Structure 1
């Protein structure tokens, strides 16, 4: 397995960039789509169920109010009829009033007009008033204004709804299709709203029924529009388990739930419930049609949901294949455009083997590769510039080192020291003369040795210690020197005569300019990441702000302190030439309190013992 992976890695590593880009981009597109597809497929069925149920709930919440509005129109039509004077006279007359008042043609004409107006063929398809009189001489059944609406009770007898009224004593009834007789269904409609009432004739009460007929077609269309899933069924059931309307009669027969189950489920949950019918899981949802006490039931079979989820997955696969093909084509052209431009840069850079690098033409596009070309062109110009400056830099370094060493061999220090030794001889201070001569000898040995230009921090520390020892012989030990350099730093490299010019500046222009001619110099150091920082501080008179910025700039050569400042400037320049602009000397000072000098050099260990 390891060898196989190594072989695959080698093959991939040897491919050209175009092939690599094509493979990587194709994989980058394919893997996320596959992962999403697998994750999507495992949850697709649940997602389809949840989404379909939500849609059905939304559709039901829209369909149910429409059904209730249709029923309300029927109720409103009935109210309009009962408000007519003709109706009031017929059904609300005093018990012993003469019935001939019913023959008032004006009331009968108003009744006919209202009936014709209500029977619009959309909501109300027919009106029948069933009633019986002991004699057939009553003109209600024969008059042209009323004969189409008043019929004898014998036409209602034998219907299912008539039996319900007789058996239950109900005052009103919403009748589905099978409650009605064949005459009613063929002539008026397959649904009816029927109200039971009474009238008085010759002092006796008689039963009557007012029936407003309508068609279930509108309800059927509403139920069909309520469905968002093929194979699902929606129907309306009443309290007698009768189907009021259905989107599919055969499907309703399969998935019919009895009214009590629907009512109990509705009370338990307003959402969809799971049931198993004929070994098939279904999801049933309910919506209460409050006015008649009906329930609208929507049944979603699991087979239809599974079919829909498979269809969605098929669509997803088709889209995935289309995206894969498009991604492969785009990856090919993108990889080709990138690799061809990179190849041109490689060809141009390979010319360096025959000579100096040659700039390329300026890029047309300024993307990453365009930036690479610009950078390459800049690099070629910079390399040429650096090659030109290399010899100049080497010469400047040699001159800087010479000037630094020469400036630091201060003749006044030598004259003053020799004068001090002369006075010691006159005074017979033999041991002091010996110590002074030895110190001066060691000082100039460390200063003038030219075998190496690089020393160690430990030797530079010794060098400045000797310098301060000689100065203390002249100034009666008024200068205190504290060296606190960690032992682990003493073997690191440092250019010769880096510390002495700074220490000399501290003595001559810091401590000796104080009224007391006394002070303290502290030398310490530490590591900062890959650098070494040496800090020299004194408690001298400090440096005025206007002079502070000129010390390492070389602009103070004309001042009275020019000699020592030139040495400091040369030291700073030498460090920057050797190590770069990030290194060198940094001065900070407060007048009357003292000066601090920070020397930063890279941390490099001494490989050979310096001489």
Structure 2
């Protein structure tokens, strides 16, 4: 384990160190922050849910208390009680109409309150004003109704019941407050029932939710549903039993999951307000905050890691660059480290490395210049061996022609020799194009044709792209001379063909000089290696090619005795 740590790269060690110092405290901070936020949010969530419940309770309590006050105004009205306590047979119909018209006007004033829908009176059937859809309705029509029995059983106290209208004009359900009307002369004798109807839609508007997954509903003490905040939630979240939880939500288990519920009776009424919310929904805010907290801490961690990586890289980058440059030195590549100078320890190390590399490069450049000067001197020495030799042979041929009196041939040879040496001189350059070298060889062959009575045919087949390639001056001409002197001239008839071909193959220049002379055996090959047509051997050409192109084996011979010889020059492509 210790060795593994010791062998670990400096960059990894720094990354681990910075990560431990930066990330671990961040993780600890996250868990502490989450714990405190969880407590705070749950406390706030409970406060919000309880406040919403209490606001709904307060609104409904005020509404129902106001309706009960209106009912009290009706039952304590002596005129209403006296009129209703009179026997219907003792009053003429016109008199009944006049009296009940006063009650009707009073009732319409009370109905102007927007919190209630309708007020009805259930009175003795014998009154002429009673009817199924009238303000005054026959009391016998409700004698069998459960809600009527509940009102009577409650002894005249305000009783809230669910009422289903069954008239021709109205088939809706209402929340009804019912109270008994008493005979002012005998408070044991009920003379009718007054009912005040409330629209269930208006009640439902008061049942607001604090979270989406919540059900708020109103029911009677007997468990009869009055209104709710949602039909979908009602099916799976309504409690199967009455609950009175006091001032706090309590946790309960239903078939559909875990819930928090609170239930209380509204004032002195027989109505219960119940609120049920999903435990998951109650903690949704916590989960949301947790997700946001995780995201924030994740972003901070990523930024911290990026910062750690940047700091680590700034520390180790120059070291790794220096290591890479040192590895390149092992491969023979001496390159200085080109970075901005620094005054720290690593900067001093980089400066020392650059000084060392620059010193080594200067020494190598000096050695290279010395080598180049030596190579140039060798090339010029070899060139100087070839340049005068052709002149000796040509002057010898001119002397021979002069003895025979061949003036015209002498003139042509002199012109050709002039062109030849113009090319040879080449403004002092030691290297020429293949095209110039071919012209030089062509002039040489033309001169030799005079000597051999035009028995020599010279052919050139060189690609256009090869003509601009550079080779040492007087490379082809000695090989052509060899082909004439040691190949064609030794044939019985002294005639033959010399062909020069040239191609560029895979960035290499390939030139072939081929003749159909007598060819070579082992003895003649050894002799030709030491003695070329110019008298200095092919070793001179090989040495110049090696010095110029930097590689051996640039010249190759392939000969068959009695058929001819092919000389191949294979060197890299070099252009001006």
Q: TM-score range by the shorter chain?
A: 0.3 to 0.5
Structure with the bigger RCO (C-alpha within 8 Å, sep 6+) is 1
User: Normalising to structure 2: TM-score of the pair?
Assistant: 0.46
User: Normalising to structure 1: TM-score of the pair?
Assistant: 0.43
